[in-house]
Amino acid sequence: MLSLLAAWTRDPLLRATTLAILDTEVGVEVTREALQRALTETFPGQYSPLNIAKVARNAASSWTQSGHFSGYTKKVRCRVQPGSVAVTLALLLGYVSAWHGEQLFASPWCQLLDLTGPQARSLAAQAHREELLTMKAIGSVVEINFPRFNRFLEGFL
């Protein structure tokens, strides 16, 4: 899941397939055509059908490796089970992308992990207990910081 979060942040082609994945109910097949359609709609006329097909195959492979799909040829949507480390990275990526406070739990990176806001908040509390981040929360007021990543954050803040 960590690889997917990093790749999704940097790869517009992978991001273009996101809704085709996240909008599909768990247990339902996601077809290659659905991925190709998502790519074609996002990048109309930019890629040949052959390139779109190859990108769709590569995207399906990435989504399979992250746990969003099961199956070799028939890709069936699965719900991923992220841990505190994956949530920490999702929150960090949201943080450097200007998501703060309670909004962090609804960021696209948390959505990639199949988390609702309360689920993301619960895993963030676990990450706080594991000293992966610091979280202070009173009601809906939330402050999250990443002291272990200060050197990394220097380039963003």
pLDDT above 90 (res 55): yes
Report in angstroms the alpha-carbon separations of 1 from 43, 71, 101. 26, 17, 23
Beta bridge partners of 137: 142
Query: Cβ neighbours of residue 85 under 8 Å, at least 6 residues apart?
Result: 2, 127, 132
pLDDT above 70 (res 62): yes
Examine the domain organization and report whether 110 and 139 are in the same domain. yes
Total structural domains in the chain? 2
Examine the domain organization and report whether 16 and 68 are in the same domain. yes
3-class state of residue 125 by DSSP: helix
Examine the domain organization and report whether 89 and 52 are in the same domain. no
- pLDDT digit string, tens, across residues 67-107: 999 998 899 999 999 999 999 999 999 999 999 999 999 99
Examine the domain organization and report whether 128 and 89 are in the same domain. yes
Examine the domain organization and report whether 112 and 148 are in the same domain. yes
User: Given 23, 49, 77, which residue is the final one in a domain?
Assistant: 77
CB 83 within 8 A of CB 101: no
pTM of the model: 0.91
Examine the domain organization and report whether 108 and 124 are in the same domain. yes
Examine the domain organization and report whether 117 and 53 are in the same domain. no
Examine the domain organization and report whether 73 and 96 are in the same domain. no
Examine the domain organization and report whether 7 and 67 are in the same domain. yes
- pLDDT digit string, tens, across residues 36-50: 999 999 999 999 999
CA 108 to chain centre: 6
Residue of 104, 102, 79 whose CA lies nearest to 90? 104
CA 65 to chain centre: 13
pLDDT for the residue numbered 154: 81
Examine the domain organization and report whether 70 and 7 are in the same domain. yes
User: Given 45, 60, 77, which residue is the final one in a domain?
Assistant: 77
Residue of 91, 77, 84, 98 whose CA lies nearest to 29? 77
Q: Which residue segment(s) compose the domain that 126 sits in?
A: 84-153
pLDDT above 90 (res 139): no
The average confidence (pLDDT) of the chain is 95
Examine the domain organization and report whether 143 and 98 are in the same domain. yes
Query: Cβ neighbours of residue 74 under 8 Å, at least 6 residues apart?
Result: 29
Examine the domain organization and report whether 25 and 89 are in the same domain. no
